[in-house]
Structure 1
């Protein structure tokens, strides 16, 4: 929904939702992808499933394309994780990957409410493995230190957006 569109990705508990909230509080157009675009489906075909698994947590490709095509906003941030990001990543002007150390990740997992994804041992084990292997996050994104204060994290993202804009003009 922006003339410029950025994806903010990262392993669970790196701060994607918090970044989205902070961007919105600063007046930026930011989409909670995990709430507004996500569903359970086959990452290759998009066909809906009832699996309830991490591997099938995908974003609706048509909705992503429609949001990117709408240029009502100067800049839009898409925040969240999707197992089918390879189907739409080329639509973005830039990609940011929130990154935290293992200790911070374990602390954040310990603080997760019992009803949120990542609270169960099997989910925690998967998150820790994905953090270690980085296997389901974009490889060429700009790494952002997610251990900083939320204000600093968002300032870093905005700095890179401005830098990207200057390079394109």
Structure 2
């Protein structure tokens, strides 16, 4: 048992599956309430602007501080807990988890989900294309680092069952 990083590209269902795991009584932390944007050179924390383009994303990274993951691991203790989300500093935090699960969906499902989240990150225009391009490589990247891929196209309860099985076996 331990701390599990539930990750994957935007729109694969991390928050939804996390909600189901929370309903089942697990400690669940959403990266969106923990991570922050930082300038890549200066390290200064910034707010994400309403208008952003490729140049902005090249200069800033969404980061989950290492000390935050360590604090969460202490809170979870000998139980099972989940950190749901995705950040740009995975390489700094990956080893702090007992298991990493990457939710996976096909490109058509992802596009439908993202477009259906009107106004949310990745729901239209350049951001949608950016997320779809990222999605094309995220499964291979995450599996290469040891993540267990879980098909997230099925019903939420079934996806949560698969994630839960992995979590209780680590």
TM over 0.5, yes or no?
yes
Match of 1:167 in 2: none
1:39 partnered with 2:36: yes
Pair 1:25–1:42, CA change in 2 (3 A): same
Quick check: 1:77 aligned with 2:73?
A: no
Aligned length: 160
Deviation, 1:68, is 1.4
* Contact 2:102 2:139 (C-alpha < 8 Å) held by counterparts: no
1:50 Cα deviation from its structure 2 partner: 4.5
TM-score, normalised to structure 2, is 0.84
1:145 to 143, 151, 154: 151
Q: Which of residues 138, 154, 163 in structure 2 aligns to 1:157?
A: 163
8 Å contact kept, 2:102–2:150:
yes
Q: TM-score, normalised by structure 1?
A: 0.84
CA distance in 1, matches of 2:73, 2:41: 20
**1:65 aligned residue (70, 76, 97):** 70
| RMSD (Å) for aligned C-alpha atoms | 2.4
Structure 1: runs of 5+ lacking an equivalent: 165-169
The match for 1:20 is 18
CA contact (8 A) 1:31 1:79 kept: yes
2:28, 2:81 within 8 Å by CA — same for their partners in 1? yes
| Partner Cα separation in structure 2 for residue 122 and residue 147 of structure 1 | 24
Q: What are the Cα deviations for residues 143-169 of structure 1, in whole angstroms up to 9, with x where unaligned?
A: 0001011000010011122333xxxxx
- C-alpha contact (below 8 Å) 2:2/2:77 kept by paired residues: no
Say whether residues 1:123 and 2:127 are aligned partners.
yes
From the superposition, tell whether residues 99 and 84 of structure 1 become closer, same or farther in structure 2 (CA, over 3 Å).
same
Aligned to 2:63, the other structure's residue is in SS state strand
Extract unaligned runs of 5+ from structure 2: 50-55
1:120 Cα offset (Å): 2.7
Whether contact under 8 Å (2:139, 2:149) holds in the other structure is no
Q: Which of structures 1 and 2 has the larger relative contact order (alpha carbons within 8 angstroms, sep 6+)?
A: 2
